[in-house]
Amino acid sequence: MSKISLAAHPFLLGFDQLERLAERAAKGAEGYPPYNIEHVGANGFRITLAVAGFAETDLAITLEERQLVIRGRQAEIDESRVFLHRGIAARAFQRSFVLADGVEVLAASMENGLLNIDLHRSAPDSIVQTIPISRSERGSQ
């Protein structure tokens, strides 16, 4: 079975990058850690990740080619500790979000085991461009 490409449609010229972004976003769709996305104000968003047990130094937030990547890795657990039950996840994670053009990361903060990442969408510039039409030399022969 052949894969149908979104960018192959004649009305979607140059949207092959969008298809790659969608594929990249689908790869990072595991369920840990859980998160919320809130609409805050007219052009704001907040991503909140539940990162109980992680310190600020255990987390890294990067922006790589319009992809917001949050990574978490806890320090090694003391081997002398003996758990009778271990239900709190301490595994490393990577969670990714693809940001649209014009969306900027404003800040990140930790509160009560929740990592908050504030985003803002700038209003796009409305650009109208007139394309001049030139006379073809071939048509005059």
pLDDT digits (tens, 9 = 90+) for 92-133: 999 999 998 889 999 999 999 999 999 999 877 778 889 899
Q: Which CATH architecture has domain 31-122?
A: Sandwich (2.60)
The model carries a pTM of 0.68
**pLDDT higher than threshold 80 for residue 64:** yes
Tell me the residue type at 84: L
H helical segments located in 39-122:
none
Question: Residue 138: what pLDDT?
Answer: 67
Rg (the chain; Cα; Å): 23
Contact predicate 63/140, CB 8 Å: no
